Amino acid sequence: MWEGNQLVVSQQTETFYNLIGKDWRPSLSGETFPVTNPADQRIVLGICQQSTAKDVDDAVREAKKSLPTWKGMAAPKRGEYVRKTAQLIEDHSAEFLELLVKEVGKSRADAQAEVTRTIRVMRFLAGEAERLTGENIPSWDAGITGYTKREPVGVVGVITPWNVPLAISAWKIATALVCGCTVVFKPSSQTPLVSLKLIEAYLANDLPPGVLNVVTGPGSKVGDAIANHPDVKAISFTGSNAIGTHINQLVAKRGARFQAEMGGKNPFVVLEDADLDLAAEHVIAGGLGESGQRCTATSRVIVLQEIADKFVQKLTDKINRLKIGDPIDEQTDMGPVIDQSAMESILNYIETGKQEQAVLVTGGYRLTGEEHINGWFIAPTVFRRVTPEMTIAQEEIFGPVISVMEATDFEQALEWANDVKYGLSSSIYTNDMHRAMAFINNIEAGLTHVNMPSTYSEPHYPFGGVKATGIGGMREVGSTAIDFYTEWKTVYIKPHAK
């Protein structure tokens, strides 16, 4: 818990509560659930509240009550809370890093990257509070002053996934707060602890009660209650397509605003003139970093046939040197997947790949050595000769599985790259500007990269996907992030009333 401005790590298993108004409270259900370490499921990291729709109702009431005061505060002052909280996280980045490693199973390098991204995105968004600008528009009547101004949309619901629990929660909440919205936040039940530490950091900076409320628990109860609540005017969701489309239907019925960032099946095209060592290293970084559990993960490598043997050899040589284990160990390159159900789903995809005649090059099994048996570890897996109609070429596996597809030429590589329902990230490796530009202009994706991993992004650039990846057509982070959380008001003034 935070005591004053100090993050105190308890030796005993800590119980975490919902934040409703000014109080940390147990759920009205009286039930809790444990959060465990995916590298060793015997370790319980914390106990959280198994909440109900009634808890959500209480949280929304507090958020609604605090809205007029928060909205009435000068926007740059709201930004100050975000800026100071970013500073507190930076001062305690080692503790945040360690919790990400233990709770999510990220390597130390990946956890450090998430902490850094969190601090940067919060600082950038704090500055947006000073840039909530409108337009001054000349009227046809010289006696009229006309302009537009942004106003907060109201109480917003924030629902986040387990895989980036600090940064995604941080950027949605920070954007809502600088725009003058109050928040009811539901973190993922798999990784709620680091998200709750973020909220505690806001409170340590004296955020007024009720501005930020947190309710943990099952998506089917807590998430749906947020989606259905008539006083929640907008919901920002990141997660799977199945849940995103489900919430979209609930929200559409009552006409509230909805933004969803969902899955990906990101292509990584390697042309014959590419630096193959660099490309192989970046396939590993993008495809196996965070055990492949990123929305922007490199999951399809589309390589030209003439270099396929050479490239696959380089890739597997490098993969076979990786150390897979508990990420608390600094030597570890790749940690576990998040839980048993994820592990089983990934192993099922691997079986399907074999049945559909893809060629398994390396991996393809659960690791069961002494170091691995209490966690959810899968050997890094590469399939080749994957063709576009195969399940492993189409569906998001969300695990350490890379599908190599062998195309005859650039045109076929581009066609295959676009031949999925998703449209989040993409990369091409080449020194040929002509084909790089053709890729940039024709790839159906919200993000694209030339000679850079599919996972690369910076918090002051817009982030989000097209096709089935995104609902709402708005981008998160970057300067356009404020669009989702604000409404336009158009003002006409005639100072000399006649």
Catalytic residue ranges: 261, 295
The packing angle between helices 305-319 and 276-288, to 10°, is 60
DSSP letters spanning 324-364: BS-TTSTT-SB---S-HHHHHHHHHHHHHHHHTTPEEEE--
Find how far residue 169's CA is from the centre of its chain.
8
Strand partners, 260: 237, 471
- The DSSP bridge pattern shows strands 136-138 and 145-152 to be antiparallel
Q: Please pick, from the candidates 36, 51, 107, 163, the single residue that binds ligand NAD as defined by CB under 6 A.
A: 163
Would you say 431 or 480 has its CB closer to ligand NAD?
480
Q: Does residue 88 interact with ligand NAD by CB under 6 A? A: no
The Cα–Cα gap between 383 and 308 comes to 12
Q: By the 8 A CB rule, do 180 and 157 touch?
A: no
Would you say 139 or 220 has its CB closer to ligand NAD?
220
**Helix ranges, 431-481 (H):** 433-442
Tokens 């009552």, residue located? 254
We find the least distance from the C-beta atom of residue 461 to ligand NAD, in angstroms, to be 13
Q: Please pick, from the candidates 465, 474, 477, 485, the single residue that binds ligand NAD as defined by CB under 6 A.
A: 465
Q: Does residue 448 interact with ligand NAD by CB under 6 A? A: no
We find the least distance from the C-beta atom of residue 285 to ligand NAD, in angstroms, to be 17
Identity of residue 415: E
We find the least distance from the C-beta atom of residue 66 to ligand NAD, in angstroms, to be 23
We find the least distance from the C-beta atom of residue 53 to ligand NAD, in angstroms, to be 11
Q: Does residue 80 interact with ligand NAD by CB under 6 A? A: no
We find the least distance from the C-beta atom of residue 446 to ligand NAD, in angstroms, to be 8
We find the least distance from the C-beta atom of residue 457 to ligand NAD, in angstroms, to be 9
Q: By the 8 A CB rule, do 444 and 414 touch?
A: no
Considering only residues 298 to 357 of the shown chain, the ones binding ligand NAD according to CB under 6 A are none
Tokens 């929660």, residue located? 169
The Cα–Cα gap between 293 and 123 comes to 26
Q: Please pick, from the candidates 16, 81, 162, 484, the single residue that binds ligand NAD as defined by CB under 6 A.
A: 162
Considering only residues 387 to 446 of the shown chain, the ones binding ligand NAD according to CB under 6 A are 396, 398, 424
Would you say 241 or 352 has its CB closer to ligand NAD?
241
Q: Does residue 112 interact with ligand NAD by CB under 6 A? A: no
Q: Please pick, from the candidates 154, 239, 327, 380, the single residue that binds ligand NAD as defined by CB under 6 A.
A: 239
Q: By the 8 A CB rule, do 301 and 256 touch?
A: no
> How large is the C-alpha radius of gyration of the chain?
24
Measured in degrees and rounded to the nearest 5, phi and psi for residue 401 equal: -130, 120
Q: By the 8 A CB rule, do 399 and 353 touch?
A: no
Closest CA to 282 of 421, 402, 126, 112: 402
Q: Please pick, from the candidates 107, 238, 316, 381, the single residue that binds ligand NAD as defined by CB under 6 A.
A: 238
Binding mask 261-280 for ligand NAD (x = CB under 6 A): xxxx----------------
Q: Does residue 477 interact with ligand NAD by CB under 6 A? A: no
Q: Does residue 478 interact with ligand NAD by CB under 6 A? A: no
Q: Does residue 55 interact with ligand NAD by CB under 6 A? A: no
Would you say 150 or 475 has its CB closer to ligand NAD?
475
The Cα–Cα gap between 97 and 113 comes to 9
Q: By the 8 A CB rule, do 227 and 247 touch?
A: yes
Strand partners, 86: none
Would you say 383 or 463 has its CB closer to ligand NAD?
463
Binding mask 166-205 for ligand NAD (x = CB under 6 A): --------------------x-xx----------------
Would you say 270 or 337 has its CB closer to ligand NAD?
337
Kindly state the number of chain residues that form the binding site for ligand NAD, as judged by CB under 6 A.
Answer: 30
Burial 18-41 (b: 16+ CB within 10 A, else e): bbbbeebbebeeeebeebbbbbbe
Would you say 177 or 260 has its CB closer to ligand NAD?
260
Dihedral angle at the C-alpha atoms of 425, 429, 431, 434, nearest 10 degrees?
A: -50
Would you say 62 or 396 has its CB closer to ligand NAD?
396
> Residues interacting with ligand NAD, by CB under 6 A?
159-164, 186, 188-189, 219-220, 223-224, 227, 238-240, 243, 246-247, 261-264, 295, 396, 398, 424, 465, 469
